[in-house]
Structure 1
Amino acid sequence: MKRFVMVCGDKGGTGKSLMTRALADRLRREQRDVLMIDGDGEVGNLFQFYARLDEAGAPVQAQLADGVVPIRFTGTERERDQLLAAIDSGRALILADLPAASLTQLGAFDRDTGFFAELARCGYRPTLVNVLSPFSSSTRTVREMIELAGTQADYVVAINRWFGDREDFFMWYGGTHTAASPGRAMLGESGGIEINLPKLQAGVLVAIDDLMLTFADAREDRRLTTPQRSRLHRWMQALDEELDEAAQWLGLAETKR
């Protein structure tokens, strides 16, 4: 089955781009045939770190084959249409990093184009990935996500441990004086899965971003200190274990090219 994986959500600052970069890094390491799309255009994290470059280090125009296609999903209708046009490539796996407010935009896009029905007609099964912070404005987007696509999609919720441990996510799990988020029950009822996005030490991520490195390249780059590279390696191992839990939803269970 062909997969169309979209990392999305209406709340900004939850770690969506970090999650997409991590998944993109895994797909590149395994040399999977994937079309990548950055819904924030050329300023997006996915494009900045994983676009195909020329010998001078500048992004090439032709990104479709093995780079990152930039679109502005919250821009004009013509820009949004490129998300649906991506299925014309026939690629077995499509990964899109969508910006904040993307759930609202995706709902409008579906009403306008029949997006989810068209994916099914063309043999694609969509996966919506929502990265959570502990705040109610983030946790309630899970219910909105599932109400948007219903049985037309699969769902992965990634708890971003950058923000804290389980007890810090009482708006999601529930606490002594707080009920669990309705979205958590809906996730289980819809056959979705919950995984963790492990915490990467801030200084390590800052060093990687400063050098504009992919995670795989940073792991071998001697400009990072040995402790930094060691922490990155452990983080990648922990993250791979989490991604393995959701492999069939994320396009990681299919045979590599």
Structure 2
Amino acid sequence: MKRFVMVCGDQGGTGKSLMARALADRIRCEQRDALMIDGDGEIGNLYQFYAKGEPVPGQIENGVAPIHFTGPEQERDQLLATVDLGRPVILADMPAAPLTQLKQFDGDTGFFAELTRSGYRPTFVNVLSPFSASTRTVREMIELAGKQADYVVTLNQWFGDHEDFFMWYGHANSPPSSGYTMRPDYGGVEIAFPRLQAGLLVAIDELLLTVSDAREDTRLTTLQRSRLHRWMQAVDAEPDEVTGYLGLTRRQ
């Protein structure tokens, strides 16, 4: 089954684009026949770090297609047009808070029904912070696509550990988030996204390196490269639970 993976977050700063970069890196390492899309166009993280050369209209052989999903209608339409290329995996780093636009887009084009007709199963990867606005997006996401999609809820440990996500899990004075209770009924899974040290992320960003390239780049210190390697191992260990949803190969 072909996969259309959309990485989402309720607003900027949840770690959405870093998660998209981690998935893009694994797709590249596995040499998957994939198309990658940056929903923020040429200014987005995925495009800046993983595009090779200038964008080619219609198809990006080894790079990233920039689509301004919050822009004019003809830009949004390109998201659905990408299925005509027939790639087994499409990875889209969506703009912040995309669910309202996706709902309108689905109403205008029948987006989810067309994905099914084209042999694609959509996957939402929702990167969460501990705050209520973020946890609410899981319910909104499920209400948008229902059982037409699969769901990977990703708790970004940059913001803390399990106990810091009490708005998601619930606590003594408050029940769990509605998305938390709905997720199992829709086959959704939950994973953790390990924390990457801030200074190391800044160093990678300053050099405009992909994750794998940074691991081998001697402009980083041995300690930085070692920490990055451990982080990459931790990231790879999490998607092994949901490789089918993400269009990846299960690691042995």
Q: What TM-score do you get using the length of structure 1 for normalisation? A: 0.95
1:185 and 2:170 matched = no
Aligned CA-pair RMSD = 1.3
1:43 and 2:43 matched = yes
Instruction: Flag structure 1 segments of 5+ consecutive residues without an equivalent.
Output: 54-58
Mapping for residues 133-148 of structure 1, pairs under 5 Å: 133-148=129-144
Query: What is the one-letter code of the residue matched to 1:207?
Result: A
Instruction: Flag structure 2 segments of 5+ consecutive residues without an equivalent.
Output: none
Mapping for residues 136-215 of structure 1, pairs under 5 Å: 136-215=132-211
Off by >4 Å, runs of 4+ in structure 1: none
Q: Which of these residues, 224, 230, 236, is aligned with residue 234 of structure 1?
A: 230
Mapping for residues 104-119 of structure 1, pairs under 5 Å: 104-119=100-115
Query: What is the one-letter code of the residue matched to 2:33?
Result: D
Query: What is the one-letter code of the residue matched to 1:18?
Result: L
Tell me the distance in 2 between the aligned counterparts of 1:60 and 1:142: 33
Residue 34 of structure 1: aligned partner: 34
Which 10-residue stretch deviates more, 62-71 or 186-195?
A: 62-71
Is 1:8–1:98's contact at 8 Å kept on the other side of the alignment?
yes
Structure 2 SS opposite 1:37: strand
Residue 223 of structure 1: aligned partner: 219
Query: What is the one-letter code of the residue matched to 1:194?
Result: E
Tell me the distance in 2 between the aligned counterparts of 1:43 and 1:198: 25
Tell me the distance in 1 between the aligned counterparts of 2:180 and 2:87: 32
Is 1:158–1:195's contact at 8 Å kept on the other side of the alignment?
yes
Is 1:39–1:97's contact at 8 Å kept on the other side of the alignment?
yes
Is 1:128–1:153's contact at 8 Å kept on the other side of the alignment?
yes
Tell me the distance in 1 between the aligned counterparts of 2:217 and 2:43: 24
Q: Percent identity?
A: 71
Q: What TM-score do you get using the length of structure 2 for normalisation? A: 0.96
Residue 24 of structure 2: aligned partner: 24
Is 1:9–1:103's contact at 8 Å kept on the other side of the alignment?
no
Is 1:10–1:104's contact at 8 Å kept on the other side of the alignment?
no
Mapping for residues 92-107 of structure 1, pairs under 5 Å: 92-107=88-103
Shift of 1:195: 0.5
Shift of 1:155: 0.4
